[in-house]
Amino acid sequence: MFIAGNWKMNGTVAEAEALAQALVDGLPEGAPATAVFPPALHLGAVGKVLEGSKIFMGGQDCSGAEKGAHTGDISVSMLADMGARGVIVGHSERRTDHGESDADVLAKVKAGLSAGLGVVLCVGETLEERDSGRAEAVVREQLGGSLPTDFPAGSVVIAYEPVWAIGTGKVATLSDIAAMHGMIRSWLQDNRPEIAKTFILYGGSVKASNAAEIFATDEVGGALVGGASLKSDDFLGIIAAAM
Ligand code: PGA
């Protein structure tokens, strides 16, 4: 299992440090792989708190370009330099707020891999796409368009996040999660065998109270958690549900 907390655009440096410290203090013995994705400006401070702990740290996004004239963007080597070991790419909020296409996301996946970062690739359909019966086709298209055809094994994790379940309190039904995760697994086996065994995370309103049943669902390898990762007790409750 792999439990990832996406802190999004929240908090101060001091709050991020306190949250990281509470996770370091509260992480139980035998916890699954755990990662946090603080805002980029907080990576340095959070990295110091996490030093020597078992908690990985990553960036929430990266540029697809290596360096140069890209005002405001953050390169993968900058993330690595700040102590990040992973990066989330293709989050639906990036796709929506910044118009990121699958081709943009592909460039980011390649950039992350070239810097030796573990990449969490997010895919997921909108409510309109689900209601019109296109959910699986949309996710297949995102996978095909944003996963390179050559990469080192084990360095990409997939996060299935139905857009309509993110931050809304709505969770996909367990049978919908199982169906989508099963589809993703078989798509990977057929099309990207190098990462066929990777974790497939579920994301979208995961909380301590619903995590256990989600983790017990076929092909769910953990969670990408937004809102509930901002409170240490809630996030530690999700970690406990994965044990
Ligand atoms: P949420 O966000 O847990 O607040 O729904 C999940 C995500 O965006 O990764």
How far the first Cα of the chain sits from its last, in Å, is 8
pLDDT tens digits along 197-228: 999 999 999 999 999 999 999 999 999 999 99
CB-defined site of ligand 1, < 6 Å: 6, 161, 166-167, 203-206, 224-228
Q: What are the tokens at 196?
A: 């066929």
How many whole angstroms from 87 Cα to the centroid of ligand 1? 16
The residue type found at 74 is: I
Q: Residue with the nearest Cα to atom 6 of ligand 1?
A: 226
Percent of the chain predicted with pLDDT > 70? 99
Going by C-alpha positions, the residue among 81, 13, 34, 22 that lies closest to residue 201 is 34
Distance CA 132, CA 137 (A): 11
- Domains of the chain by residue range: 1-58, 73-220
Confidence of residue 153 (pLDDT cuts 50, 70, 90): low
For every residue of 117-147, DSSP letters joined together read: -EEEEEE---HHHHHTT-HHHHHHHHHHHHS
pTM of the model: 0.96
Average pLDDT, the chain: 96
Architecture of domain 73-220: Alpha-Beta Barrel (3.20)
Confidence of residue 69 (pLDDT cuts 50, 70, 90): very high
Confidence of residue 150 (pLDDT cuts 50, 70, 90): confident
Q: Residue with the nearest Cα to atom 3 of ligand 1?
A: 226
Confidence of residue 154 (pLDDT cuts 50, 70, 90): low
Choose the weakest-confidence range: 65-69, 168-172, 175-179, 185-189.
168-172
Angle at 25 between CA 19 and CA 27, to 5 degrees: 95
How many whole angstroms from 89 Cα to the centroid of ligand 1? 14
Atom index in ligand 1 nearest the CA of residue 8 equals 8
Mean pLDDT within 95-107: 96
Is the model's pLDDT at 97 over the cut of 90?
A: yes
pLDDT of residue 171: 84
Residue pair 112/58 in contact (Cβ under 8 Å)? The answer is no
Confidence of residue 166 (pLDDT cuts 50, 70, 90): confident
